[in-house]
Chains A and B, each alone.
Chain A
Amino acid sequence: DGGITQSPKYLFRKEGQNVTLSCEQNLNHDAMYWYRQDPGQGLRLIYYSQIVNDFQKGDIAEGYSVSREKKESFPLTVTSAQKNPTAFYLCASSIDLGSNSNQPQHFGDGTRLSIL
């Protein structure tokens, strides 16, 4: 079955550490996204990528970094500069046919990050 795989499901970080969250998709989608979900705040876009080797900041990119070396993979690094990293992180992908924006996004199961 095609889908999006996020790992790990739970992640703990010490103060001052960088951690990387994995996201892999086998849907052959061009576009991939990272969201942060906090209680009462919905989903907020961190970074997105429409094509390999290209990515753009979303609404809350500070303290995060990404790479897109392969179409299937879009890892997110939560750096020590992110002062409030405890959250639920969701990865998504979509076909992204240029201006054909009515194609829905498909989501992974998420990674819950906590600070020790």
Chain B
Amino acid sequence: AQSVSQHNHHVILSEAASLELGCNYSYGGTVNLFWYVQYPGQHLQLLLKYFSGDPLVKGIKGFEAEFIKSKFSFNLRKPSVQWSDTAEYFCAVNTPNFGNEKLTFGTGTRLTIIP
């Protein structure tokens, strides 16, 4: 079974700082990778996803993530964060073999941006 690790539980940054949130997964086969964001008081929404093609994926609000197969990683990046990026971020993975029902989430990273 696949698993997802997000080692950063809480990250605190100042506005305009660069962001990188780590995500590693533990499945050796083909994977689909997702980043979801949960803003305070709001529902989870999709930031970006990777399933094939260019390993550098661009999402909404200036976020991007790079799939590095050799490192089993899918880190989320943003060059310059804003106060409005304060939220909880979840990495998730599933495999085409198992379909959507086997979406496995990481434990989440809480991001706090200081104005």
Contacts and interface: CB of A to CB of B under 8 A. Distances in A.
A101 B4 CA distance: 17
Given A58-B101, A92-B44, A107-B36, 7 more contacts: A33-B103, A42-B105, A44-B105, A98-B99, A101-B94, A102-B96, A107-B43
Nearest to A108: B43
A104 B34 contact: yes
Contacts of A107: 36, 43-45
Interface of A: 4, 31, 33, 35, 40-45, 48, 50, 56, 58, 90, 92, 94, 96, 98-99, 101-105, 107-110
Interface string B68-92: 0000000000000000000000100
A52 to B, nearest CB: 16
A50 B4 CA distance: 24
Contact of A101 (B43, B44, B96, B107): B96
A101 B95 contact: yes
Interface in B3-30: 4, 6, 9
A103 B107 contact: no
B51 interface: yes
Contacts of A92: 44
A99 B46 contact: no
Interface centre among A48, A98, A104 (most CB of B within 10 A): A104
| CB-based closest 9 A-B pairs | A102-B51, A107-B44, A42-B107, A43-B105, A42-B105, A104-B46, A107-B43, A102-B32, A48-B101
A43 B106 CA distance: 7
A101 B51 CA distance: 9
A99 B96 contact: yes
A96 B34 CA distance: 16
A108 B38 CA distance: 11
Contacts of A98: 99
A101 B105 contact: no
A42 B95 contact: no
Contacts of B90: 42-43
